[in-house]
Amino acid sequence: MRTEVVPTFCALASEPLPPEFIGPLGAILGADDADLHLFALDGDYVVGVASTADTAHLRSVAGLAYVIHYTVRDTLLARFWLPRAESRSGYDHAAALQRLLGAVAATASAVHPYFTLSAFPERLVPATSAIAHDVAWVGDTYEVHDQLSMAGMPTTPSHALGQAWADGDDVFVMDTLKASDAARVIALATVEYDAAYIEFLASHPFYSKFARVVRLQATGDVVSSCVIHGDFSLGLVSTDPTFLRRGLAHEAVHATLSAVRTFLKESPMHAALQLRPFSAIKVGNTPSAKMMAKFGFAPRPNANVVWMGVHL
């Protein structure tokens, strides 16, 4: 499938799509290392969307879904959009979700295939649990924080790549993430990741544009980090405990967001899709929420998400 159909597909929604739905699609525009399956629920029927011509006869789109197969890592990502109940009277969320889940399952060859539903709307978990063949696990609940305006960015420029600055007796330098940093970044992270994933982000032609680390110049060790994940969310924001309260995470996030802003200014195709970063913050993680607020991020009301593993 040619990814040029993605903007047309997203335009089928009857309300603005959330960034966690748009993000993975925007990240693979023009890429050749991913296979994409797009689905639209038109009335009671799921229609596969492989070209703009497939959208011409759709009349009442009541849901969207897609599956991305990242061929390099051989992993799957599935995302869903259903209109909120208050925006469509008489809408049967469970029936719509069942049809879309069925279409997603059909992209796999296995019987009762396994999918990790990431950034999945918490409001849809009960219906999904009733529909799925088996629910393997359900993770913690996260708030989605949107950057309401790029005007919320700090007025001072971020540190450029290679720029060094002193803080007391220490000198730090801004740098890109390297594959060789994987073990160090994993050691600092508060969420579990495997080394292959960090190496993927560091070497990928798209995601590596945005990944930033702060190094201690004397040793070259990473002391703080921030990346853009495969769904265009900010993540891996962490700091070596030895260097807390030095503003290093703030500097890493600022540099990553500045790289994102520059990229969107220079890529009309991505800007037209309204691609924008977001942050999924575990409920109750007040320090992270406060830091992201400094960059114009705020929690979206009634938009909590979970990660869950299901056999469909």
Instruction: Spell out the domain ranges in the chain.
Output: 3-145+303-311, 150-295
For residue 212, pLDDT beyond 90: yes
What whole-number distance in Å separates Cα of residue 266 and Cα of residue 50?
A: 27
Distance from the first to the final alpha carbon of the chain: 24
Give long-range contacts, CB 8 A cutoff, 24+ apart: 165-168: 167/246
pLDDT band at 76 (very low <50, low <70, confident <90, very high): confident
Residues in the chain: 312
Q: What is the pLDDT of residue 90?
A: 62
Q: Of residues 264 and 1, which shows the higher confidence score?
A: 264
Query: What are the C-alpha distances in Å from 244 to residues 44, 223, 247, 281?
Result: 54, 9, 7, 19
Q: What is the pLDDT of residue 4?
A: 77
What whole-number distance in Å separates Cα of residue 139 and Cα of residue 255?
A: 30
Average pLDDT over the chain reads 91
For residue 22, pLDDT beyond 90: yes
For the domain spanning 150-295, the CATH number is: 3.40.630.30
- Residue pLDDT, tens place only, 225-265: 999 998 999 999 999 999 999 999 999 999 999 999 899 88
- Residue pLDDT, tens place only, 146-186: 987 766 677 788 999 999 999 999 999 999 999 999 999 99
Question: What percentage of the chain has pLDDT greater than the value 90?
Answer: 72
| Both structure tokens of 91 | 């809408």
Strand partners for 65? 39, 80
Query: What are the C-alpha distances in Å from 128 to residues 42, 113, 133, 293?
Result: 20, 14, 10, 32
Residues 6+ apart with CB under 8 A from 169: none
What whole-number distance in Å separates Cα of residue 286 and Cα of residue 246?
A: 18
- The residue-averaged pLDDT of 53-62 equals 88
In 3D, which of 70, 10, 17 has the Cα closest to residue 38?
Answer: 10
Q: What is the pLDDT of residue 33?
A: 83
Lowest mean pLDDT among 16-30, 125-139, 206-220: 16-30
Q: Is the dihedral of CA 106, 108, 111, 116 positive or negative?
A: negative
pLDDT band at 144 (very low <50, low <70, confident <90, very high): very high
Quick check: helix, strand or coil at residue 211?
Answer: coil
Lowest mean pLDDT among 23-27, 113-117, 153-157, 169-173: 153-157
Q: What is the pLDDT of residue 191?
A: 86
- Residue pLDDT, tens place only, 78-91: 999 998 764 555 67
Q: What is the pLDDT of residue 88?
A: 58
Question: What percentage of the chain has pLDDT greater than the value 70?
Answer: 96
pLDDT band at 2 (very low <50, low <70, confident <90, very high): low
Whether the Cβ atoms of residue 310 and residue 127 lie closer than 8 Å to each other: no
Q: What is the pLDDT of residue 227?
A: 97
- The residue-averaged pLDDT of 134-154 equals 87
